A and B are shown apart, each in its own frame.
Chain A
Amino acid sequence: DTAVSQTPKYLVTQMGNDKSIKCEQNLGHDTMYWYKQDSKKFLKIMFSYNNKELIINETVPNRFSPKSPDKAHLNLHINSLELGDSAVYFCASSQEDRGTAGELFFGEGSRLTVL
């Protein structure tokens, strides 16, 4: 069973379109995240949700809107896509306890290409 799964794995779309990426975790974790990895492999946190509540919202354009229907799911919707949105988007989850120290479990990534 995949612990953190994202769909779709690849997404190619035109500028101006709206698209969504879905994420589900079956680890029973309380916290979920979205990270963006650019072409230079730099990882930047975008959002963090704890028990369906938004905890972190980094400086991300309003075109990006996360939605967490329950603590096992965190979806990312992007409006009016721009060329600069092309990247790999990673979903991750974690559980706060002394044993794991909030270790992150990552999905396989969703590669978004905006043409």
Chain B
Amino acid sequence: AQSVTQLDSQVPVFEEAPVELRCNYSSSVSVYLFWYVQYPNQGLQLLLKYLSGSTLVESINGFEAEFNKSQTSFHLRKPSVHISDTAEYFCAVRMNSGYSTLTFGKGTMLLVSP
């Protein structure tokens, strides 16, 4: 079985500041890792994912995440946030073999203020 820990339930930050949202996972086998974003009153959308290969993955809107196997982490970063980045961010993991479902963390609310 796998599990995901998002240590911060809320991260307040000023516009144009850098941000890091932390995600740690636990699994006895190799995994795929995902970050989803949920804007207010909307469904979840995939932000980025790590399947294999380069450990640094990027999204089209400036976010990036780095897979660190030794630290079992997949932290999400952005060098300069916008007001429009205010949303709930979910880290998720699933086993990369056999049938398994996505296990989500409890989410981190990113609050960007002017």
Contact = CB atoms under 8 A, between A and B. Distances in A.
Interface in B20-60: 32, 34, 36, 38, 41-46, 49, 51
Interface string A26-49: 000000010000001111010010
A109 interface: yes
Contact of B42 (A41, A42, A43, A108): A108
Q: For the complex, would chain B's binding face be called helix, strand, loop or mixed by DSSP majority?
A: strand
B75 interface: no
Interface string B70-114: 000000000000000000101000101001111010110100000
B44 A104 contact: yes
A101 to B, nearest CB: 4
A18 interface: no
What band does the interface of chain A fall in when counting residues whose beta carbon is under 8 Å from B?
20 to 34
Nearest to B31: A101
B49 A101 contact: yes
Contacts of A98: 51
Interface of B: 32, 34, 36, 38, 41-46, 49, 51, 88, 90, 94, 96, 99-102, 104, 106-107, 109
Interface of A: 4, 33, 40-43, 45, 48, 55-56, 90, 92, 96, 98, 101-109
The 5 closest A-B pairs by CB, nearest first: A106-B43, A101-B32, A106-B44, A43-B104, A108-B43
